[in-house]
């Protein structure tokens, strides 16, 4: 078990954060730390815009970083469960990224 | 044309092709009910309790494949719907639940009949919406139906504050053609290299089993599964949720697997060298102790949901996508390599399975013994129901021993005919879900196999059946106790029967049914069983409640030995273990 960081890009909508936090409790995972803020500098996220053919507007999306202490197998499961949340656009751990539901074997965020 | 919020909501449902909406009115939903009154395209079914509404919509969805739709008011209306939403969620059933909410400016003030429905339902929905303004109603309804019916299906809640449906404020209405949700993209097509790896494994297997679950039914992939099996001739087992996806009377069918699965199905899984999991999720009622599950098997897992794969049992080959598309891809690939398929190679395996079946398979001929020297066996009651309905009925069930007997002894040859709460295990599901099925298929035989415990959890819906003239056939397997709990107490608590009996407080079910205008039949003797069941099924225009008194001491077998058992560790009878 080691501490790992998850990064999410998600729609900045009412209740969206509660879905992420609720999922951790519901599935028995633990949150060591949580940070969330609206994305203002879109430069690192241009690849998402290109991939989805959209343009982010200021205030529309947030970045979440979550630290959690788990083993490999559970980490993969957490990533996949988060990816299922409808408002999550992209989620990465150290090795993988789900971008709009599609798995990439690299950390893109 | 400009219309009000309540009409926008109802017109949106009509645009989605909704035929029936199951619900119960109340303060926060009154504007919506006024819109329902003013239209004719969609019929509202007034239930007697909101749990009944959700189960009825769920039954409709399971039988038709179309989403079930529910309308409830705020507060207690919404919370009463929760059990039904959770039931649909656990079995991945498409459903859209519209809940009234107090007016926007009252939210958070503990107003009359206010509940945070979005908060309360969050862990048991695929997604949920609060309607923030009238201009967004149509788009939200479109998105809700899209989410509920695509990918891994599930229930979606739309919470609608009362002011949003105010009939005095008018807005433009254009129903969107497509739901574009930029953050939602369920996988559709399987990847070629995974398909080709799966085919390699299929071609080299010597002791394979196909293990097909409810996802195969959701994906309407029954034909593709049957085509696959014509190509490769593998033994097939179904989960409780998958029954019917492969013919129950099919030559290669092993029966259900898992906790109360057949001996041959569990033995085949345990000894397999290849398990092909199709739309199934390896839950704890299937695997027994995961570390001891199928020790020699390679696993191919077909699923639309990434998070189901390798959650419990590590998959060697994962094929993501709609199961229907994945099976089509596999079948096409197999056809192109037809000369490599060697069915002969499987004969020792089929032989082994036949031996298991001979040795400890279920006895499907119990119904032939109609002697009054012993009480009615619940298994024989189900066998008679199967015989008399010619195996063609839709069968809903509640939860407990009767459910397992129905799953073991009623053979389903078609998908969507067996309607039960597999994941959540909700008592009270059987009767209201049968209402949804009967509304969808009024000409078909719809049977509810229940118990005297479960039926009382939603028995108020007998009144709904009377109002809408739904001639369902209810067969209550009455063992005068909460049978499955009693079985566990017999097996694990030295027969201490804690809180499983109603003593003498059971109602006269025949009289109860008659008081609602239905027909009641009571059967207490073996010699009356066949005739009583046949008589009930012959009554076409009325609901018949058949109260069948069975042996109160019967247990469901086989039963997996837990904890720490594998799939080969089963109880085969009282005191008899593998």
- Comparing CA positions, the residue from B71, B54, B53 lying closest to residue B12 is B71
**Res. B472: pLDDT tops 80:** yes
What local confidence, expressed as pLDDT, does residue A51 receive?
86
- State pTM to two decimals: 0.97
Instruction: Give contacts of A26 with chain B, Cβ < 8 Å.
Output: 123
Quick one: residue B17, left, alpha or beta (phi over 0 = left, psi -120 to 50 = alpha)? left
CB of B438 within 8 A of CB of B63? Answer: no
Q: For chains A and B, what is the number of CB pairs under 8 angstroms?
A: 51
Minimum distance, in Å, between the CA of residue A85 and any CA atom of chain B:
8
β B298-303/B274-278 pair status: parallel
pLDDT (tens digit per residue) in B163-199: 999 999 999 999 999 998 999 988 778 999 999 999 9
What local confidence, expressed as pLDDT, does residue A107 receive?
84
Buried b (16+ CB within 10 A) or exposed e, B361-370: bbeeebbeee
The partner residue sitting opposite B123, judged by closest CB among A11, A22, A83, is A22
- Comparing CA positions, the residue from B263, B205, B272 lying closest to residue B232 is B205
Residue B430 to residues B59, B90, B420, B455, Cα–Cα distance (Å): 9, 16, 7, 7
Give chain B's contact residues with A (Cβ, < 8 Å): 118-119, 122-123, 126-128, 130, 147, 152, 181-187, 305-307, 310-311
Contact A86 B130 (CB under 8 A): no
Segment B382-407 shows an average pLDDT of 98
pLDDT (tens digit per residue) in B322-350: 999 999 999 999 999 999 999 999 999 99
Q: Among B7-21, B35-49, B177-191, B524-538, where is mean pLDDT lowest?
A: B177-191
What is B164-194 written as a DSSP string? GG-TTSEEE----S----TT-----SPPHHH
Strands (E), chain A: 2-11, 33-38, 61-70, 88-92, 97-99, 102-104
Active site residue B162: yes
Buried b (16+ CB within 10 A) or exposed e, B417-452: bbbbbbbbbbbbbbbbbbbbbbbbeeeebbbbbbbb
Contact A100 B311 (CB under 8 A): no
Give percent above pLDDT 90 in chain B. 98
pLDDT (tens digit per residue) in B312-322: 999 999 999 99
Q: Among B178-187, B198-207, B374-383, where is mean pLDDT lowest?
A: B178-187
What local confidence, expressed as pLDDT, does residue B47 receive?
98
- CB contacts under 8 A, A 76-105 vs B, are 76-77, 80-81, 83-84, 86-89, 98, 100-103
Give the integer Cα–Cα distance in Å for B576 and B563. Answer: 17
pLDDT (tens digit per residue) in B244-290: 999 999 999 999 999 999 999 999 999 999 999 999 999 999 999 99
CB of A100 within 8 A of CB of A49? Answer: no
Give percent above pLDDT 70 in chain B. 100
What local confidence, expressed as pLDDT, does residue A92 receive?
94
Give the integer Cα–Cα distance in Å for B447 and B245. Answer: 19
The partner residue sitting opposite B183, judged by closest CB among A15, A26, A88, is A88
What local confidence, expressed as pLDDT, does residue B406 receive?
98
**Res. B233: pLDDT tops 80:** yes
């Amino acid at each position: 078990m080691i501490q790992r960081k998850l990064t999410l890009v998600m729609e900045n909508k009412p209740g969206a954060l509660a879905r992420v936090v609720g999922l951790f409790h519901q599935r028995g995972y633990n949150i060591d730390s949580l940070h969330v803020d609206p994305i203002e500098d879109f430069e690192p996220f241009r690849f998402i815009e290109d991939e989805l053919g959209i343009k982010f507007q200021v205030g529309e999306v947030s970045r979440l970083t979550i630290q959690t202490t788990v083993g490999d197998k559970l980490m993969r499961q957490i990533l996949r469960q988060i990816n299922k949340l409808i408002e999550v656009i992209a989620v990465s751990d150290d090795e993988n990224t789900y971008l709009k539901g599609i798995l990439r074997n690299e950390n893109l965020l | 044309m400009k219309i009000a919020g309540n009409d926008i909501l109802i017109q949106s449902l009509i645009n989605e092709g909704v035929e029936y909406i199951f619900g119960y009115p109340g303060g926060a939903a009154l504007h919506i009910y006024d819109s329902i009154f003013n239209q004719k395209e969609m019929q509202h079914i007034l239930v007697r309790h909101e749990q009944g509404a959700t189960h009825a919509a769920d039954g409709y969805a399971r039988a038709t494949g179309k989403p079930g739709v529910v309308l409830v008011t705020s507060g207690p209306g919404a919370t009463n719907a929760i059990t039904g939403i959770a039931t649909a969620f656990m079995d991945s059933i498409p459903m859209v639940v519209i809940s009234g909410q107090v007016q926007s400016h009252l939210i958070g003030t503990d107003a009359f009949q206010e509940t945070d429905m979005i908060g309360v339902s969050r862990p048991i929905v695929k997604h949920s919406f609060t309607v923030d303004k009238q201009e967004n109603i149509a788009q939200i309804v479109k998105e809700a139906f899209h989410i509920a019916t695509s990918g891994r299906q599930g229930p979606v809640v739309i919470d609608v504050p009362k002011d949003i449906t105010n009939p005095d404020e008018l807005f433009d209405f254009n129903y969107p053609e497509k739901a574009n949700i930029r953050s939602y993209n369920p996988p559709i097509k399987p990847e070629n290299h995974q398909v080709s790896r799966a085919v390699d494994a299929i071609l080299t297997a010597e002791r394979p089993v196909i293990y097909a679950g409810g996802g195969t039914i959701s994906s309407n992939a029954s034909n593709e599964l049957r085509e696959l099996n014509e190509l490769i001739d593998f033994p097939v087992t179904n989960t409780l949720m998958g029954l019917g996806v492969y013919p129950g009377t099919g030559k290669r069918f092993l029966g259900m697997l898992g906790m109360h699965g057949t001996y041959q199905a569990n033995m085949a899984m345990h000894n397999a060298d290849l398990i092909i999991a199709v739309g199934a999720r390896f839950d704890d009622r299937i695997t027994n102790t995961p570390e001891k599950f199928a020790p020699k098997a390679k696993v191919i897992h077909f699923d639309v949901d990434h998070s189901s794969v390798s959650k419990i049992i590590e998959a060697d080959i994962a094929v993501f996508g709609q199961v229907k598309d994945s099976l089509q891809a596999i079948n096409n690939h197999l056809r192109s390599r037809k000369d490599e398929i060697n069915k002969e190679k499987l004969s020792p395996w089929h032989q082994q399975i036949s031996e298991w079946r001979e040795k400890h398979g279920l006895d499907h001929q119990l119904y032939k013994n109609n002697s009054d020297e012993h009480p009615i066996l619940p298994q024989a009651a189900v066998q008679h129901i199967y015989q008399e309905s010619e195996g063609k009925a839709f069968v809903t069930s509640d939860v407990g021993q009767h459910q397992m007997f129905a799953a073991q002894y009623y053979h389903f040859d078609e998908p969507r005919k067996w309607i039960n709460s597999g994941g959540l295990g909700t008592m009270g599901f059987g009767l209201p879900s049968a209402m949804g099925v009967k509304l969808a298929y009024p000409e078909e035989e719809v049977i509810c196999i229940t118990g005297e415990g479960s039926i009382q959890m939603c028995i108020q819906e007998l009144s709904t059946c009377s109002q809408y003239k739904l001639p369902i056939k209810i067969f209550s397997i009455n063992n005068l106790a909460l049978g499955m709990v009693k079985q566990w107490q017999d097996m694990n608590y030295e027969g201490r029967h804690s809180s499983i009996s109603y003593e003498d407080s059971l109602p006269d079910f025949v009289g109860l049914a008659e008081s609602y205008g239905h027909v009641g039949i009571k059967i207490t003797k073996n010699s009356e069983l066949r005739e009583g069941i046949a008589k009930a099924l012959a009554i076409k225009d009325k609901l018949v409640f058949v109260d069948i008194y069975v042996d109160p001491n019967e247990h469901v077998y086989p039963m997996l030995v837990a904890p720490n058992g594998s799939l080969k560790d089963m109880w085969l009878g009282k005191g008899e273990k593998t």
